[in-house]
């Protein structure tokens, strides 16, 4: 008997998520000591010192279960975002809430729509529940909302949209996205994944929370993993109508967010200085890398996030491997349908410089 034959059909066909290579793994493999990781869109400034202090003080209570209602974090989020407490669903990272949406709204009779080059978690959570995935071809690397709308019929229950998208960094304007929401039938749940919301500075970029009152079928997801620098603790959230939040909370594990994550995220939310410094540094780094790529004649996709997808003009896998030997971890994105691109997270200005020198050696320019 093969275990695989026992698995449900969606799981048998599932391609597992490929995370960025951890620093410790490269250390073990190559015996390198000076390694920089620009592979997982983590905050190069680290966590807020206030979040770290809160996590430290939480250590004395590790024998207790966390607050399963997430009262303090949800209260702080509600105040900060101007929404009601009942509209928030906490997750073990926002990946968790994306999965809750799939489990609450999709089954083998249903389909989900998303874009080519979109975030890898959408196909995974869709397939895991046995639903059909309908993938719209990208438009200039980004979401083609008309093509996506064209895939929506009676069977579609969920549309996943990343704004900005990972790994491309492309973003949708207020007008485009608002129009798309207006086109969606009421039985379609639209998930707008704003994992990079805090970083975005483009003036036409919308805050999807402002549409929740008009669209009861909208779910907006955000995370503490990126600009808030808490990827290791795993905490994210969804904001929706209270009715949708109630459904998401029914499938949520009662203690899905751990106690250190709850207190650290609450403290991080209050540390506006750290967030502002992180966003500023990211803007500088985007300019630095963008200018350096242009100077080298390398094309890149304009990005609103904390990363850039650069076309290295040849298959990117060997370039990725050679960068590893230089002690620089970036992300190959062939599995996203972009075999000549590497996705580089914006680091500190120094880390960006180290990456560029290594890239020059590797590309021989
Ligand atoms: C990083 C990322 C997430 C968030 O992951 P977490 O589970 O919150 O760490 C969600 N969506 C996109 C598009 C991302 O890039």
- What tens digit of pLDDT does each residue of 312-332 get? 999 999 999 999 999 999 999
For residue 304, count CB atoms less than 10 angstroms from its CB and return exposed for 0-12, middle for 13-18, buried for 19 or more.
Answer: buried
β strands within the chain, DSSP E: 36-37, 88-91, 111-115, 132-136, 156-162, 189-193, 218-223, 236-239, 299-301, 307-311, 328-329, 331-333, 338-345
- Report the candidate in 157, 120, 154 with the shortest Cα–Cα distance to residue 332: 120
The per-residue pLDDT for 265 is 98
Question: Which ligand 1 atom sits nearest the alpha carbon of residue 231?
Answer: 9
Domain with CATH 3.40.640.10 in the chain: 61-270
Q: Quick check: 263 and 49 in contact, CB under 8 A?
A: no
Residue nearest to atom 1 of ligand 1 (CA): 195
Euclidean distance between CA atoms 121 and 20, whole angstroms = 14
Q: Is 339 helix (H, G, I), strand (E, B) or coil?
A: strand
Q: Is the CB of 236 under 6 A from ligand 1?
A: yes
In angstroms, rounded to a whole number, what is the distance separating the alpha carbons of residues 136 and 114?
A: 6
Q: What is the mean pLDDT of the chain?
A: 96
The finding on whether 39 has its CB within 6 A of some atom of ligand 1 is no
Q: Please list the residue range(s) of the chain that carry CATH number 3.90.1150.10.
A: 19-46+273-364
Q: Is 62:259 a contact under the CB 8 Å cutoff? A: yes
Q: Whose CA is nearest to atom 12 of ligand 1?
A: 195
What is the reported pLDDT for 365? 58
pTM of the model: 0.96
In this prediction, the residues of the chain whose per-residue pLDDT falls under 50 are: none
pLDDT for res 9? 84
Residue 326 Cα distances to 164, 237, 293, 316, 353, angstroms: 30, 37, 19, 15, 13
- Name the residue at shortest CA distance from atom 3 of ligand 1: 195
Convert 174-202 into a string of H (helix), E (strand) and C (coil).
Answer: HHHHHHHHHHCCCCCEEEEECCCHHHCCC
Which of 337, 340, 324, 351 is CA-nearest to residue 32?
324
Q: Which CATH class is domain 19-46+273-364?
A: alpha beta
Closest CA to 301 of 315, 290, 313: 290
Q: Which residues are bridge partners to 299 per DSSP? A: 311
Candidates 3.30.1130.10, 3.40.50.300, 3.40.640.10, 1.10.390.10; CATH matching 61-270? 3.40.640.10
Pocket test residue of 168, 225, 331 for ligand 1, highest count of atoms within 8 A of CB: 225
Would the CA dihedral through 204, 205, 210, 216 be positive or negative?
Answer: positive
Q: Is the CB of 352 under 6 A from ligand 1?
A: no
Alpha carbon of 94 to ligand 1 centroid (Å): 6
Count of beta carbons in the 10 Å neighbourhood of residue 291: 10
* CB crowding 23-39: b at 16 or more within 10 Å, else e: eeebeeeeeeeebbbbb
Chain-centroid distance, C-alpha 344: 14
Query: Measured between alpha carbons, how far is 282 from 277 in angstroms, rounded to an integer?
Result: 8
């Amino acid at each position: 008997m093969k275990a695989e034959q026992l698995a449900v059909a969606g799981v048998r066909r599932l391609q597992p998520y490929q995370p960025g290579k951890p620093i410790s793994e490269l250390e073990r493999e190559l015996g390198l000591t000076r390694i920089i990781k620009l592979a997982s869109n983590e905050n190069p400034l680290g966590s807020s010192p206030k979040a770290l202090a809160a996590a430290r003080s939480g250590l004395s209570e590790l024998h207790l279960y966390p607050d399963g209602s997430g009262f303090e974090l949800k209260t702080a989020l509600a105040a900060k975002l101007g929404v009601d407490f009942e509209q928030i669903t906490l997750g073990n990272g926002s990946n968790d809430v994306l999965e809750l949406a799939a489990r609450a709204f999709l089954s083998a009779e249903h389909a989900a729509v998303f874009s080519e080059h979109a975030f890898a978690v959408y196909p995974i959570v869709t397939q895991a529940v046995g639903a059909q995935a309908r993938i719209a071809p990208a438009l200039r690397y980004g979401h083609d909302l008309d093509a996506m709308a064209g895939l929506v019929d009676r069977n579609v229950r969920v549309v996943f949209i990343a704004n900005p998208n990972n790994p491309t960094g492309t973003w949708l304007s207020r007008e485009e996205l608002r129009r798309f929401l207006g086109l969606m039938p009421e039985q379609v749940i639209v998930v707008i994944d704003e994992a990079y919301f805090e970083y975005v500075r483009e003036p036409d970029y919308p805050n999807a929370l402002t549409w929740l009152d008009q669209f009861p079928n909208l779910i907006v997801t955000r995370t503490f993993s990126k600009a808030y620098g808490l990827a290791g603790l795993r905490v994210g959230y969804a904001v929706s109508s209270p009715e949708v939040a109630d459904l998401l909370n029914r499938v949520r594990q009662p203690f899905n967010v751990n106690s250190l994550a709850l207190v650290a995220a609450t403290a991080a939310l209050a540390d506006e200085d750290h967030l502002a410094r992180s966003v500023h540094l990211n803007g500088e780094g985007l300019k630095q890398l963008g200018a350096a790529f242009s100077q080298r004649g390398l094309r890149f996709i304009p990005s609103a996030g904390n990363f850039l997808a650069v076309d290295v003009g040849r298959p990117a896998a060997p370039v990725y491997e050679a960068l590893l030997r230089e002690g620089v971890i970036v992300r190959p994105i062939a599995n996203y349908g972009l075999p000549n691109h590497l996705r580089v997270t914006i680091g500190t200005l120094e880390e960006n410089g180290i990456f560029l020198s290594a890239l020059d050696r590797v590309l021989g320019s």
